[in-house]
């Protein structure tokens, strides 16, 4: 039996490559490509907890 693939949290396509993920206030988000990850980051920057081991803080802090 084949394991079901996770859907991209932005576009809904299957996530076939690891490494395109973000920790957010809503939990772990996984993306199918760098483009979807980047668009999600631009649209929801205030929800992102970390990027590449660096803490992201709202601009108002």
Q: pLDDT tier at 45 (50, 70, 90 boundaries)?
A: very high
pTM score, whole prediction: 0.73
H or E segment and range at residue 48: strand 48-51
More confident residue, 45 or 52: 45
What's residue 7's pLDDT?
Answer: 97
Q: pLDDT tier at 55 (50, 70, 90 boundaries)?
A: very low
What's residue 54's pLDDT?
Answer: 42
What's residue 4's pLDDT?
Answer: 75
Name the residue ranges covered by the structural domains of the chain. 1-55
Tell me how far apart the alpha carbons of residues 5 and 49 are, in angstroms, rounded to a whole number.
25
Tell me how far apart the alpha carbons of residues 47 and 4 are, in angstroms, rounded to a whole number.
27
């Amino acid at each position: 039996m084949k394991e079901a693939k996770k859907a991209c949290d932005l576009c809904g396509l299957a996530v076939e490559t690891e490494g395109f993920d973000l920790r957010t206030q809503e939990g772990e988000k996984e993306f199918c490509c760098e483009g979807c990850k980047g668009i999600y980051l631009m649209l929801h920057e205030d929800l992102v907890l970390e990027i590449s081991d660096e803490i992201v803080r709202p601009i108002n802090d």
